[in-house]
Amino acid sequence: MKIQSHKMNDVKQKSVCLLINTLDSGGAEKVCTTIGNELANKGYKVDLWVRKSEETTLSKILDKRINVSYMNRDRVRKSIIPLIKLIKSRKPEIILVFDIEFLIFIHLLRSILNFNFKIVARSINTLSIAYKDQKGFWKKLIWIPLAKYFLNRTDTIIAQSSGMKNDLINYFNIPQSKIKLIHNPAINLDLNDNSKQLINKDRLEFVFIGRLFPPKGIFYLIEAFNIALKIEPKIHLTIVGEGPEKTKLIEEVKRLKIEDSISFAGFQSNPKLYYQKSIATVLTSIYEGFPNVLVESIAEGTPVISFNCPSGPIDIIEPEVNGILVEYLNIQRFADAIIDIATAKIKFDYFKVKESAKKFDLDQIVKQYEDILFFQK
């Protein structure tokens, strides 16, 4: 994509509305907050419409120039009336949607009520896999067909990885020309800082950062780590995050009697120190949209180990430069990769790892969003 350079006089009177479910700690939420802040800082008029009202780490860092409206609804489908009121009062020119269910209703409102605004959708997952196990009449027979129908009628769709782009083309029959590939940025990390905090590494530390729920495949990680421990007993894994599987994961660690080797740190609003003190960040996801943690890790100079899951890791990991890309769901090979790094059989240069994150530079990615939102016809 050709990235244009936009002057301040180009942004006068240009506005965008960002529409999202919540402002919790997820990757989509971090991208939404960051893009909104950056656009506001550049002089654009930014509205942010959020379904659920709650104070979070991200809500606290929103730029004061962003006009935030909370709909205070527990379901997307219950947000229709507030959405109509917001559209009528704010008269948005462009709506950037961060949720597929919201996308359906935004299209319906635009068609039925004859609203005139541009719709840009940011796909947050490899949708064919996310939809595969959907159950229930509403999800399977109504919602998924509606999602396919309205995705094809969206003005522009942003995919964060090549795998997501191909999935939209192959599974939803969306024309390639309608899909724009924009990676997620390395958020809240200084890509130009060549210094590394000196940390006394008393043990060979690995880290997982993310939500503790089934798509992250954390039971695979625990199994692989247990295998690696039998070869290198000094390694240690810190699991950073919260989620519905936390209790079961703790029970599994106890069952394997490896409590001294795996710790649970809970949610951390700024996980930067965990990247810095680890010799590698690990990810065993069953599927991803675009794994921000891998980008954040290499931006700190810390290499990564990840399953080659659909999708995202293959766009981030450069073998022998910034990490190890492991055959999908191959637990033994993942354990081997842990051992290879722990025993220094495979070594990574800190500066080369950090340099590999330059392509995820925030300024360049914001310019791509500008181009799609405001300057692409």
109: alpha, beta or left? (left if phi > 0; alpha if psi -120 to 50): alpha
Please give the average per-residue pLDDT across 177-198, as a whole number. 67
Q: Do 8-185+361-375 and 204-359 agree at the fold level?
A: yes
Q: Residue 286's closest CA among 316, 264, 318, 308? A: 308
The answer to which of 83-87, 199-203, 209-213, 371-375 has the lowest mean pLDDT is: 199-203
CA distance 225 to 370: 43
pLDDT(195) > 60: no
Spell out the residues 6+ positions from residue 13 whose beta carbon is closer than 8 angstroms to its own.
45
Task: Please say whether the structural domain 8-185+361-375 has been given the CATH code 3.40.50.150.
Answer: no
**Other CB atoms within 10 Å distance of the CB of residue 351:** 11
> For the chain, what is the mean pLDDT?
89
Q: Give the rounded percent of residues in the chain with a pLDDT score beyond 90.
A: 72
pLDDT digits (tens, 9 = 90+) for 278-320: 999 999 999 988 899 999 999 999 999 999 998 899 999 999 8
The answer to which of 9-13, 82-86, 102-106, 115-119 has the lowest mean pLDDT is: 9-13
CA distance 376 to 194: 36
Please give the average per-residue pLDDT across 113-130, as a whole number. 83
Please give the average per-residue pLDDT across 197-215, as a whole number. 78
pLDDT of residue 138: 61
Please give the average per-residue pLDDT across 152-170, as a whole number. 92
Instruction: Tell me which of 310 and 139 has the higher pLDDT.
Output: 310
Q: Give the rounded percent of residues in the chain with a pLDDT score beyond 70.
A: 89
pLDDT digits (tens, 9 = 90+) for 322-371: 999 999 999 999 999 999 999 999 999 999 999 999 999 999 999 999 99
Identify the band that residue 2 occupies on the pLDDT scale cut at 50, 70 and 90: very low
pLDDT of residue 245: 97
CA distance 296 to 191: 10
pLDDT digits (tens, 9 = 90+) for 35-58: 999 999 999 999 999 999 888 888
Identify the band that residue 193 occupies on the pLDDT scale cut at 50, 70 and 90: very low
pLDDT digits (tens, 9 = 90+) for 66-77: 999 999 999 998
What CATH code would you report for 204-359? 3.40.50.2000
CA distance 346 to 37: 39
Is there a cis peptide before residue 5, judged by omega within 30 degrees of 0?
no
What residue spans define the domains of the chain?
8-185+361-375, 204-359
Under a CB-based contact definition with an 8 Å cutoff, are residues 90 and 369 in contact? no
Q: What per-residue string of b and e applies to 43-58 under the rule 16 or more CB within 10 Å gives b?
A: ebbbbbbbbbeeeebb
